[in-house]
């Protein structure tokens, strides 16, 4: 169903809470390790970057929302880019999401879930089996239909708020508050310019989800007035929560120590509440990760299903089938299969950074698309227009370009190699698309002959 057929029932408060719910996920519990490893175990740049990434996300959300409001069709970014730039680039967006972004993110979440689970049960040898197992379990649950997925989301949303609130409140009450917070920016021998992009990539994983905000436009009573308020308000709340909990982490443990834990939130919880309390908080975090994993499986499989319906994905006849529960079971299994393969790397930060790098290339194209649409279709109906045009879109564009270019050229050889690998995997989509279009034309010709 297209957005312009949806009932316009969402007011300001509902939209704002939806924004907060969509963005707050697993990253805030785990990414401080990557951040403080990059800064050489010092806090200043990390704290500043949580605010900076929040501002970038707000400009991104405000910009992308104009496109989604002007193109009220189901399918998200893949559809926006198809409408603005043409079928080939639209397919490439969906291809990147299907083979890289969603599997990479799901794999990262599976790995971090497994890391925490083996810490709880004391069986490190089970990490990879648990990582793959949890991915396949979530996939199996999603084949039961969207109602099951929705129920998981509701429970996990409540569970992710509990650890956040408890750590924020008791972190400041029980923490010593004697650790450095804003100084020094980075450790000795670490260059701010060379690590800022890496730090932002890590933190932008925690902010990801904002692209879905624009989809609210079709269900809002007054999107032109309320959508920018919901985006700015909601993402400001998220930024405030992220900044507050990171200050709470530092109130309890120094940045140099947070850099040594794969789950800084769990380490802080144990320091605050003791071993038993820490384990209870860890269980809450695990449920939160489970819910986030479920959300990405649900949405990722729908992208693969859409490509299959368009007959542009190899195996489309199988991938476009729905099972008895009206779920795209084969598309779900495709995403889960790729995710399981990626999870065998056991690398949470590498997988999540690769996913964010890949998706931000297409985010930048979406931002540029706002300006392109204004020039190409000035009379297009726009229920919402980005404020302070063209300043906000330009900030979003240049911020995104900085992150992408930094990953490719300035963040070290390993990061560059992984990023180039991501570009190659994405580029493989071009011959795949050309082959499928040619194949479909030949089949069409045979039928009409």
Reported as a single tens digit per residue, the pLDDT across 239-268 is 999 999 999 999 999 999 999 998 899 999
Burial of 317: CB neighbours in 10 Å, binned 0-12, 13-18, 19+: exposed
The answer to whether the beta carbons of residues 210 and 227 sit under 8 Å apart is: no
- How far is residue 71's CA from residue 221's CA, in Å, rounded to a whole number? 17
Give the CA angle between residues 271, 273, 277 to the nearest 5°. Answer: 120
Could you identify the residue written with the tokens 């990262």?
A: 108
CATH number of 178's domain:
1.20.1740.10
Rg of the chain over Cα atoms, rounded to whole angstroms, equals 22
pLDDT of residue 214: 66
Mean pLDDT, range 231-246, rounded to an integer: 92
Looking at the domain assignment, is residue 446 inside a domain?
A: no
| pLDDT of 98 above 70 | yes
| pLDDT of 285 above 60 | yes
| pLDDT of 290 above 50 | yes
End-to-end CA distance of the chain: 35
Reported confidence tier of residue 277, pLDDT bands at 50, 70, 90: confident
Backbone angles phi, psi at 320, to 5 degrees: -95, 5
* C-beta atoms surrounding 378 within 10 Å: 8
Number of folded domains in the chain? 1
Reported as a single tens digit per residue, the pLDDT across 171-190 is 999 999 999 999 899 999 89
Looking at the domain assignment, is residue 79 inside a domain?
A: yes
- How far is residue 29's CA from residue 249's CA, in Å, rounded to a whole number? 10
- How far is residue 192's CA from residue 65's CA, in Å, rounded to a whole number? 32
Could you identify the residue written with the tokens 């649950």?
A: 141
Return mean pLDDT, the chain.
Answer: 89
**Angle, to 10 degrees, between the axis of helix 192-207 and the axis of helix 223-252?**
120
Write down the pTM of the prediction. Answer: 0.91
Looking at the domain assignment, is residue 449 inside a domain?
A: no
Looking at the domain assignment, is residue 447 inside a domain?
A: no
- How far is residue 22's CA from residue 358's CA, in Å, rounded to a whole number? 20
* Signed CA dihedral, 63, 359, 112, 148: sign only: positive
- How far is residue 204's CA from residue 160's CA, in Å, rounded to a whole number? 18
The rounded percent of the chain whose pLDDT value lies above 90 is 57
Residue 341 preceded by cis peptide, ω within 30: no
Mean pLDDT, range 58-62, rounded to an integer: 93
In the numeric block, which tokens belong to residue 141? 């649950």
Q: Residue 7: give the domain boundaries.
A: 3-440
Reported confidence tier of residue 7, pLDDT bands at 50, 70, 90: low
Looking at the domain assignment, is residue 216 inside a domain?
A: yes
Reported as a single tens digit per residue, the pLDDT across 113-155 is 999 999 888 899 999 999 999 999 999 998 987 677 767 777 7
Looking at the domain assignment, is residue 184 inside a domain?
A: yes
Report helix, strand or coil for 260. coil
């Amino acid at each position: 169903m297209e957005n312009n057929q949806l009932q316009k029932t969402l007011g300001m408060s509902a939209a704002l809470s939806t924004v907060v719910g969509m963005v707050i996920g697993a990253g805030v519990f785990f990414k401080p390790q990557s951040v403080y490893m990059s800064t050489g175990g010092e806090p200043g740049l990390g704290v500043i970057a949580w605010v900076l990434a929040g501002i970038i996300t707000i400009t991104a959300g405000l910009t992308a929302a104009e496109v989604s409001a002007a193109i009220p069709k189901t399918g998200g970014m893949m559809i926006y880019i198809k409408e603005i730039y043409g079928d080939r680039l639209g397919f490439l967006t969906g291809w990147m999401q299907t083979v890289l972004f969603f599997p990479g993110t799901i794999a990262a979440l599976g790995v971090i879930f497994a890391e925490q689970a083996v810490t709880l049960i004391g069986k490190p040898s089970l990490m990879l089996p648990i990582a793959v197992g949890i991915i396949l379990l979530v996939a199996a649950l999603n084949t039961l239909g969207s109602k099951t997925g929705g129920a998981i989301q509701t429970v996990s949303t409540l569970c992710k708020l509990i650890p956040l609130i408890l750590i924020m409140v008791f972190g400041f009450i029980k923490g010593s508050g004697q650790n450095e917070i804003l100084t020094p920016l980075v450790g000795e021998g670490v260059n701010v310019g060379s690590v800022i992009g890496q730090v932002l990539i890590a933190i932008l994983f925690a902010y990801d989800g904002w692209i879905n905000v624009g989809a609210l436009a079709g269900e809002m009573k007054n999107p032109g007035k309320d959508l920018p308020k919901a985006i700015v308000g909601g993402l400001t709340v998220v930024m405030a929560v992220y900044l507050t909990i990171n200050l709470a982490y530092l109130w309890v443990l120094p940045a140099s120590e947070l850099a040594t834990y794969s789950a800084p939130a769990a380490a802080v919880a144990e320091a605050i509440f003791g071993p038993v309390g820490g384990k209870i908080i860890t269980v809450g975090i695990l449920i939160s990760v489970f819910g986030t994993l479920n959300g990405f499986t649900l949405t990722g499989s729908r992208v693969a299903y859409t490509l299959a319906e368009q007959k542009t994905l190899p195996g489309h006849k199988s991938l476009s089938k729905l099972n008895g529960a009206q779920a795209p079971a084969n598309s779900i299994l495709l995403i889960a299969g790729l995710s399981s393969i990626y999870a065998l790397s056991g690398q949470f930060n590498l997988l999540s950074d690769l996913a964010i790098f890949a998706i931000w290339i297409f985010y930048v194209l979406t931002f540029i698309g706002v300006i392109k649409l204004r020039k190409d279709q000035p009379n297009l109906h726009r229920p919402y227009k980005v404020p302070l045009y063209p300043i906000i879109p330009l900030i979003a564009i240049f911020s995104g370009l900085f992150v992408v270019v930094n990953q490719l050229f300035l963040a070290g050889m390993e990061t560059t190699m992984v990023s180039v690998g991501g570009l190659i995997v994405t580029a493989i989509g071009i011959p795949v698309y050309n082959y499928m279009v040619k194949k479909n034309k030949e089949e069409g010709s045979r039928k009409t002959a």
